[in-house]
Amino acid sequence: MFANKPREEQTLWLATALCLIFIANQYLWLLNFTYISSAAIGLSILTALFLIIRSAKANPQVAFVLLVFCFLAIMTLGAATTAWDARSIWLFHAKRIYLDDHLLAQLDNYAAFSHNDYPVMLPALSATLARIVGHWNEIFPKAGNVFFILPPLLVVAATFGTLRLTLLFVTGLFLIVGDLLTNGFMDGILSLYIVATMILLSMLFLGWQANLKASKSTLSVAAMAHLAVLIGVKNEGTMAAVIILFCLLLTLAINRKRIDISKLLLIFTPAFIMSGLWLLLCYLHGVGNDIATSGSFMGTFTTRITDVKSAGLISIALYCQKWLLFLPLAIWSIHVYRKNQQAVDAASFLLRFGLLYSFSLFLIYLGSPHNLEWHLATSAVRTMLPVTLTFMTCLLMLYAENTSISTDATASAP
């Protein structure tokens, strides 16, 4: 039955299957059968990889994504983890799960500097990989991050339509995100899931790439799975999910499209339930977020919002980045392709998200209890990655839709 599906739908189901494996792995750690569950997760991942390899024989886009996956895996395994966040937060949480044999090990709030309120979906997979090989080290468990990169890249391969556009996306991804894909940080992975989720939602609700051979049910399940993983990557994932929902509703309202409440609930509810459960667990264990609990957020916010220097520092750090060049290019492309309503609607959806997400970051920095110059210097480029990657994707989506229409017109010509 799976083999009879169109190749685009096959690719989306494989991406969805990997997402569901990641989600299942997280909750299996709550059970005591860690060796059995680790073996099951390992076999599930190998099965998914086997199916992806088989699919790649007839799909050059998937074959290219597999090559990228192998390259990133080699890069990841070829270097030790040295960056502070990667080593002292993400790998440290994974090591605690592995040694304490429990998903919620970090909620005792030991070593509070390691942001114990951060979600544990990625550290849980790293701990599972360590359990599979039978010991902990500082390199191999980090390979779990590469597995998380695969589903959103498969979504891009399935939806962009041509190898050329997939190649352009991956090239832009490497230029914008760079070594943040392989050095143990989560920001690049977060950005990929944001983009993949919005691509799927654009197809489902806004009619982008309407000729793609993928059913509405497939797109719905894929969007639900990627959204659930998104909120499990970092705390910013929940903020991103809320902004995505708001921008989608706003875009549908502006364009006077029907708002399917039941479908929206189906897609967003599992992710928000997962996020709510994690926040509740953190609250019950007395684990708080450093920005929300380290000093007075509102007091700092009120002081800085009237301080021209602080506002200027934040504006320069967030908005004076070279890859924000994609914003004017995307706006210009919307004007060029304005007759293609579906493409414009999808692009507007992504643009609204990027602008609102960046404004949310601006407000967070205004209330940050940390030294502002230090906080911006160490995080501004990373936290803006979802914005720059969204603007780049917006540009490529417009081009992909136009290419698809041109190809269809050529094929139907006598």
Residue-wise pLDDT for 274-317, tens only, equals: 999 999 999 999 998 877 766 678 888 888 998 999 999 999 99
Residue 360 lies in a domain: yes
- Chain-centroid distance of CA 184 in Å reads 15
Q: At what angle do helices 60-77 and 7-28 cross, to 10 degrees?
A: 30
> Is residue 397, in this structure, part of any structural domain at all?
yes
Q: Which residue has the higher pLDDT, 297 or 14?
A: 14
Higher pLDDT, 293 or 69: 69
Domain total in the chain: 1
Position 402 scores a pLDDT of 66
pLDDT at residue 35 above 80? no
Q: What is the mean pLDDT of the chain?
A: 89
**Domain contains 332:** yes
Confidence of residue 338 (pLDDT cuts 50, 70, 90): confident
Domain that holds residue 169: 2-408
Answer yes or no: is 109 within a domain: yes
Rounded Cα gap, residues 147 and 86, in angstroms = 16
Q: Is the model's pLDDT at 6 over the cut of 50? A: yes
pTM of the model: 0.94
In a domain, 287, yes or no: yes
Q: Is residue 414 part of a domain?
A: no
Rounded Cα–Cα distance for residues 345 and 204 (Å): 12
Distances (CA, A) of 98 to 127, 129, 147, 229: 5, 9, 18, 21
Is residue 413 included in any domain, yes or no? no
Q: Which residues contact 158 (CB under 8 A, 6 or more apart)?
A: 7, 8, 9, 11, 12, 15, 61, 62, 212, 214
User: Is the pLDDT reported for residue 220 higher than 90?
Assistant: yes
User: Containing H/E element for 333?
Assistant: helix 326-336
Predicted confidence (pLDDT) at residue 245 exceeds the cutoff of 70:
yes
pLDDT in tens, 264-275: 999 999 999 999
Structural domain includes residue 191: yes
Give the H or E element holding residue 379: helix 372-383
Cα angle for residues 376, 382, 387 (degrees, 5° grid): 105
CA distances from 405 to 169, 255, 328, 409 (A): 20, 21, 24, 6
| pLDDT attached to residue 133 | 86
DSSP 105-174: GGGG--SGGG-TTS--HHHHHHHHHHHHHTS--SSGGGGHHHHHHHHHHHHHHHHS-SHHHHHHHHHHHH
Residue 378 φ then ψ, to 5°:
-95, -10
Res. 38 pLDDT band, cuts 50 70 90? confident
